[in-house]
A and B are shown apart, each in its own frame.
Chain A
Amino acid sequence: MLTLLEHIGRYFLMLQKTFGKFTKGKILQKLIFQEVDDLILRSLGIVSFISFFVGGVVAIQTAINTDNPLIPQYLVGFATRQSIILEFAPTFISVIMAGKVGSFITSSIGTMRVTEQIDALEVMGVNTYNYLIFPKIIAMTLYPFIIMISMTLGVFGGYIACITGGFASHAAFIEGLQLDFIPYHLTYAFIKTFLFAMLLATIPSYHGYFMKGGALGVGKASTTSFVWTSVAIIVMNSVVTNILLT
């Protein structure tokens, strides 16, 4: 049985080989566009939906839990902004994406393993690591745009919930949004988003590439991949927050 250290070692060897012999540029370009479509564009719908409604719920929860005349109304806007920019959009959307994008990556590579398509590529002399994983890494460099949209829609959802529910006035919510804004928080959020994107592209690829067994194995690999990607995101979040914000 492979120990955790062996898995980590094999993961880094996989990364090294991913940047080894490169696939022909024209083919790589086509693969990257395909991955941008599969991993980024096709995630926009679910991310937008979740962000808008969770943003709304964050605002409502803040409002009803700070229902005290001594607490200013603008606090709702402030708390919504901070929650969404610092944690909800970068971290929790990434955990959700570990399920959506991660499962897609693991099952697509795993199915290629089961149906011997990876063996077919290797027999042809293709660097399968580069062919399969590199385009996903490049596509996921666009992941911060998804998080940017998530932040925008999350705050907008909070605003709509506040106004329609009568929890705060337009002016108070906007005042809260602008209060004590620290631009560095955005930098922090996007640095960790980029790191999560790399985890989202590579950990599921590892589980798909090295999966064993048949169709059942693909299912198991997808589940394991989701668990480990989520764990890695949470650990990375903790480490990065300690480094960048303390």
Chain B
Amino acid sequence: MIEINQLSKSFEEVKILDKISTQFEKGKTNLIIGQSGSGKTVFLKCLLGLFTPEEGEISFNGQPLSEMNDNARSSLRQDMGMVFQGSALFDSMTVEENVMFPMQMFTNVATDEIRDRANFAIKRVNLINANNKLPSEISGGMKKRVAIARAIVMNPNYLFCDEPNSGLDPKTAILIDNLIQEITKEYEITTVINTHDMNSVMEIGEKIVFLEHGKKEWEGTNKEIFKTDNQAVSNFVYSSELFKKVRKVYLDENS
């Protein structure tokens, strides 16, 4: 579980995050949503420890991040997997080498065993015949799968995804969403996804935090988001006619 208490962050005196408090539970897909510039990426980078907050506290399983020494932070980072928006695969390495990398870096396991575990992760994300290909030789959807395989190969307790669906066709986007949710349940991971894909919100949002102008405007589940009377959330989530109709059908069916 990740607990966030009164988190604030500014850049050059501009407040990007303003006293955000929430918690992300284990075994659930937690979504951070909001318009571009609402502070989602900064929030995620604070959780990852890439940015240091000015105020507030982030705790991982009850351990405050600010009280951790370098070794504890290093251990925590090895317990985190991250799927970046652009996948962030290492260009010079093949798919298999990319997935093997975290284990080669941080474990003393024999190379054959590392390769076996990497191949298990690659199979788990349904990648076939791609082991020896370079990132430049595979599609966007395959890159996301490799990034997910790399993120889970160390069996992390926390999985972070920054817009995992961006640049993907709708069908592949749904597959990636489902894959992340399956992995979250299977490995009992605390998953935090930064997205503005409304399909993801509806399909896998077990906990949704809506940010606006750096403040937490609303939080709830994908069921509750249909019923919310919060104007800011409604304006954002139901900005398209299609989703307005989806909401109407849902409310009619559940009234």
A: residues with CB less than 8 A from B are 21, 23-24, 26-27, 34, 111, 115-117, 119-120, 122-126
A125 touches B85 (CB 8 A): no
Q: Which chain B residues border A119 with CB–CB below 8 Å? A: 50, 82, 84, 88
> Which residue of B is nearest A127, CB measured?
B74
A116 touches B77 (CB 8 A): no
A123: contacting residue among B77, B91, B92, B105, CB under 8 A: B77
A24: contacting residue among B77, B86, B91, B104, CB under 8 A: B104
B50: contacting residue among A23, A24, A117, A122, CB under 8 A: A122
B105: contacting residue among A34, A122, A126, CB under 8 A: A126
Q: How far is the CB of A233 from chain B (nearest CB, A)?
A: 28
B88 touches A115 (CB 8 A): yes
B77 touches A27 (CB 8 A): no
B85-103 interface (Cβ within 8 A of A): 85-86, 88-92, 102
B82: contacting residue among A27, A34, A120, CB under 8 A: A120
B50 touches A123 (CB 8 A): yes
A125: contacting residue among B90, B91, B106, CB under 8 A: B106
B106 touches A117 (CB 8 A): no
Q: How far is the CB of A216 from chain B (nearest CB, A)?
A: 17
B84: contacting residue among A34, A120, A126, CB under 8 A: A120
Query: Whole-angstrom distance between the alpha carbons of A24 and B90 in the complex?
Result: 18
Nearest 7 pairs of A and B residues by beta carbon: A125-B77, A120-B88, A116-B88, A123-B82, A116-B84, A125-B74, A117-B88
B102: contacting residue among A26, A34, A124, CB under 8 A: A124
- Contact bitstring B46-82, A, C-beta under 8 A = 1, else 0: 0011100000000000000000001001110110101
B: residues with CB less than 8 A from A are 48-50, 70, 73-75, 77-78, 80, 82, 84-86, 88-92, 102, 104-106, 160
> Which residue of A is nearest B90, CB measured?
A117
B78 touches A125 (CB 8 A): yes
Q: Which chain A residues border B86 with CB–CB below 8 Å? A: 115-116
Q: How far is the CB of B157 from chain A (nearest CB, A)?
A: 14
What are 8 contact pairs spanning A and B, CB under 8 A?
Answer: A21-B70, A27-B105, A115-B86, A117-B91, A119-B84, A120-B84, A124-B105, A125-B73
Q: How far is the CB of B78 from chain A (nearest CB, A)?
A: 5
- Chain A interface mostly helix, strand, loop or mixed? helix
Q: Which chain B residues border A115 with CB–CB below 8 Å? A: 86, 88, 91
B80: contacting residue among A27, A34, A123, A126, CB under 8 A: A123
Q: Which chain B residues border A126 with CB–CB below 8 Å? A: 105
A27 touches B50 (CB 8 A): no
Q: Which chain A residues border B90 with CB–CB below 8 Å? A: 117, 120
Q: Which chain B residues border A111 with CB–CB below 8 Å? A: 91
Q: Which chain A residues border B75 with CB–CB below 8 Å? A: 125
Q: Which chain B residues border A34 with CB–CB below 8 Å? A: 92
Q: Which chain B residues border A26 with CB–CB below 8 Å? A: 104
Q: How far is the CB of B129 from chain A (nearest CB, A)?
A: 24
Q: Which chain A residues border B82 with CB–CB below 8 Å? A: 119-120, 123
Give the most central of A21, A34, A111, A116: most B CB within 10 Å.
A116
> Which residue of B is nearest A24, CB measured?
B105
Give the most central of A24, A26, A27, A123: most B CB within 10 Å.
A123
A124 touches B84 (CB 8 A): no
Q: Which chain A residues border B70 with CB–CB below 8 Å? A: 21
Q: How far is the CB of B243 from chain A (nearest CB, A)?
A: 30
Q: Which chain B residues border A116 with CB–CB below 8 Å? A: 84-86, 88
Q: Which chain B residues border A124 with CB–CB below 8 Å? A: 77-78, 102, 105-106
Q: Which chain B residues border A117 with CB–CB below 8 Å? A: 88-91
> Which residue of A is nearest B75, CB measured?
A125
Q: How far is the CB of A53 from chain B (nearest CB, A)?
A: 33
Query: Whole-angstrom distance between the alpha carbons of A21 and B74 in the complex?
Result: 11
> Which residue of A is nearest B70, CB measured?
A21
Q: Which chain B residues border A123 with CB–CB below 8 Å? A: 48-50, 77, 80, 82, 160
